[in-house]
Structure 1
Amino acid sequence: MKKVHSGKVRDLYELDGGDLLLVATDRVSVYDVALPTDVPDKGKLLTSLSAWWFERMADVVPNHVISVDDVPEEFAGRAMRCRPLRMLPVECIARGYLTGLGLREYQRDGAVSGVTLPEGLVDADRLPEPIFTPTTKLQTESGHDEFITFDDVVEAVGSSDIAEQLRELTLDIYRRGAARALEQGVIIADTKLEFGLDANGTLTLADEVLTSDSSRFWRLDEWQPGRPGGQRSYDKQYVRDWSVSTGWDKTYPGPAMPDDVVAATRARYVEVYERITGLTWSN
């Protein structure tokens, strides 16, 4: 194997024959900084939930997964053997609820990524319908991804047809995933997806799908728009909130997580995995 990239959470290797190995680590990244403390089983939980979703979205769009079993033993449970793709330079985000950076954009402009929204919305309000709010993928001068419009996506990918497919597929995947999760008492407020083109030019779903790292998950029975302190989350928002409470300035290096925060984070990842899939986490 040859390591070709080490990200904040995932490592990428090239295997003999040209396949790629996408390895999810136990690292936690918030505000574009990987924290120094790992969360046990996080990589396996992300990989298992992604694999579950990839299988259920296969009739919507092709994906890059070749196998989750045919991987080196040292990475068993937290790696996927994947087809190489030419990744597209945008983050595809679907929002069904208004919160986070989307709420900030709305409060400033009355719109998110050029999509105008009704007046008077508050944090965690459900939107009239899910919207496509893409962002940059390569970090800008601000050091963070920034919202772009649909026209910006057309320019970035060089094709109005591909841009339209990205929008429709992102919203289709979100709607299907959100409907499944809602049946299990979980709200998917928003999610981030990545796509690439395979050797034949076919648009292909990649990276991870509807996980606690790429999505906001809330408890349906506790959802209350406008509630001070926000919603109870099953995702890394819990770590974001804790990190800010320490007085951290969101620059490298990040603060080390105490044992109770690590345990609470792991418990949330396990709970949402079990709720959504209906399976019992046995690790």
Structure 2
Amino acid sequence: MRILSEAHFPELPNYYRGKVRENYDMPDGSRIIISTDRLSAFDRIITCIPYKGQVLTQTARYWFEATKDICPNHVIEYPDPNVVVGKRLDILPVEVVVRGYLAGTTSTSILTLYKKGEREMYGIRLPDGMRDNQVLPHPIITPTSKAFDGGHDEPLTAAEIVERGLLTAEQWQTLSAYALALFARGQEMALKQGLILVDTKYEFGTDETGAIILADEIHTPDSSRYWLADSYESSFQKGERPTSFDKDFIRTWVVERCDPYKDELPEIPLELIEQTSKVYIKAFEAITAQTFVPDDSGETPVARIRANLERYFPRS
């Protein structure tokens, strides 16, 4: 298997290693972002999934190009299937999740809060009597504080965002309008592919002029929940979760065998890794209606990326 576990090039300046991405801040104000195949869960790296980095980069590319008329994004160019060169931005301290359905499993998801009896959340009131995975009266934004220091995200209302000085009223108005328009475009295009875009996360930053720019990724299988449209109605009527791109085989397998936050992780079976890789590829093809073509050029993925980034290396 051709795995991109890391992509550290000493020739490039200002290296920062994220959980999944390698980053380099260039002198010209751009940032080189390399998506590796690392799979992050339980606040640690648990394995690598072949072609995951290419799938995520190319899925985001599909959506960045399909939404650039709605909102400016950070993309400058793609020198390699795993690499995007983007504008370096000041990331805004608010994470934006847009939701179209009463769904989710995390502590901050609206379904979790709703089941606890809460009806007022994120500054929005939901009606009584809603069922799991029911479509909302209209898509809503559920913002949280962005925990840069590794802390926990905190649910916010629009008023709190402005009152705390996290964003100005004008910034919030612009950002929320962008987010809802991007989500509407995403739902419309996904439905043509037989998919429901259930909810998704957006990250925005500001450039040197103060303009709000879409950053990171958009509508990828890692940042979004998709359901198969033809499974929705029957599943909903039965009270079951609609069929989705289930990438959680490995997380589930690990949890069944240890406490992943405390214990040493068991070795992940090869067949489980291969199965997850196939799901990522299937998701790319279903979302984009394109055939996934793995780039197996170069002796290794790192060698290929090095060759494609060589023009960015400083000249001595």
What is the TM-score with the length of structure 1 in the denominator? 0.88
Going from structure 1 to structure 2, the CA distance change for 1:238 and 1:149 (only over 3 Å counts) comes to: farther
What is the match of residue 160 of structure 2? 152
Q: How far did residue 256 of structure 1 move? A: 4.7
Equivalent position amino acid for 2:68 in 1: A
What is the match of residue 178 of structure 1? 187
Say whether the 8 Å CA contact 2:98–2:183 is kept in structure 1.
yes
Of 54, 77, 83, the match for 1:67: 77
Say whether the 8 Å CA contact 1:9–1:34 is kept in structure 2.
no
Going from structure 1 to structure 2, the CA distance change for 1:235 and 1:134 (only over 3 Å counts) comes to: farther
For residues 75-101 of structure 1, what are the alpha-carbon distances to aligned partners after superposition, in whole Å with 9 as ceiling and x for unaligned?
x21110111111100111100112122
What is the match of residue 258 of structure 1? 269
What is the match of residue 22 of structure 1? 33
Going from structure 1 to structure 2, the CA distance change for 1:253 and 1:198 (only over 3 Å counts) comes to: farther
Of 6, 11, 31, the match for 2:22: 11
State the SS of the aligned residue for 1:210.
coil
Instruction: Kindly indicate whether residue 65 of structure 2 is the aligned counterpart of residue 55 of structure 1.
Output: yes
Larger Cα Rg: Structure 1 or Structure 2? 2
Equivalent position amino acid for 1:85 in 2: L
State the SS of the aligned residue for 2:280.
helix
Q: How far did residue 150 of structure 1 move? A: 1.2
State the SS of the aligned residue for 2:236.
coil
Instruction: Kindly indicate whether residue 241 of structure 2 is the aligned counterpart of residue 230 of structure 1.
Output: yes
For residues 235-256 of structure 1, what are the alpha-carbon distances to aligned partners after superposition, in whole Å with 9 as ceiling and x for unaligned?
6455544444445355576665
Equivalent position amino acid for 1:21 in 2: I
What is the match of residue 136 of structure 1? 145
Equivalent position amino acid for 1:233 in 2: S
Alignment of structure 1 residues 102-117 onto 2, 5 Å? 102-108=110-116, 109-117=118-126
Equivalent position amino acid for 2:62 in 1: W
Equivalent position amino acid for 1:24 in 2: S
Say whether the 8 Å CA contact 1:105–1:111 is kept in structure 2.
no
Say whether the 8 Å CA contact 1:217–1:235 is kept in structure 2.
no
Say whether the 8 Å CA contact 1:36–1:256 is kept in structure 2.
no
Say whether the 8 Å CA contact 1:134–1:147 is kept in structure 2.
yes
Going from structure 1 to structure 2, the CA distance change for 1:259 and 1:233 (only over 3 Å counts) comes to: farther
CA distance in 1, matches of 2:280, 2:259: 24
Percent identity between the aligned chains?
36
CA distance in 2, matches of 1:226, 1:147: 30
For residues 171-210 of structure 1, what are the alpha-carbon distances to aligned partners after superposition, in whole Å with 9 as ceiling and x for unaligned?
1101110111111111111000000111111110000000
State the SS of the aligned residue for 2:69.
coil
Q: Which moved more, 1:116-125 or 1:227-236?
A: 227-236
Of 29, 37, 44, the match for 1:34: 44
Provide structure 2 residue ranges, at least 5 long, that are not aligned to the other structure: 1-11, 295-316
Q: How far did residue 137 of structure 1 move? A: 1.0
CA distance in 2, matches of 1:8, 1:134: 22
Q: How far did residue 140 of structure 1 move? A: 7.9
CA distance in 1, matches of 2:247, 2:283: 12
State the SS of the aligned residue for 1:59.
coil
Q: How far did residue 233 of structure 1 move? A: 2.2
State the SS of the aligned residue for 2:96.
strand
CA distance in 1, matches of 2:255, 2:204: 31
Say whether the 8 Å CA contact 2:100–2:198 is kept in structure 1.
yes
Say whether the 8 Å CA contact 2:25–2:88 is kept in structure 1.
no
State the SS of the aligned residue for 2:54.
helix
Pairwise CA RMSD: 2.3
Of 203, 206, 217, the match for 1:197: 206
Going from structure 1 to structure 2, the CA distance change for 1:251 and 1:140 (only over 3 Å counts) comes to: farther
What is the match of residue 81 of structure 1? 85
State the SS of the aligned residue for 2:274.
helix
Going from structure 1 to structure 2, the CA distance change for 1:221 and 1:6 (only over 3 Å counts) comes to: same
What is the TM-score with the length of structure 2 in the denominator? 0.79
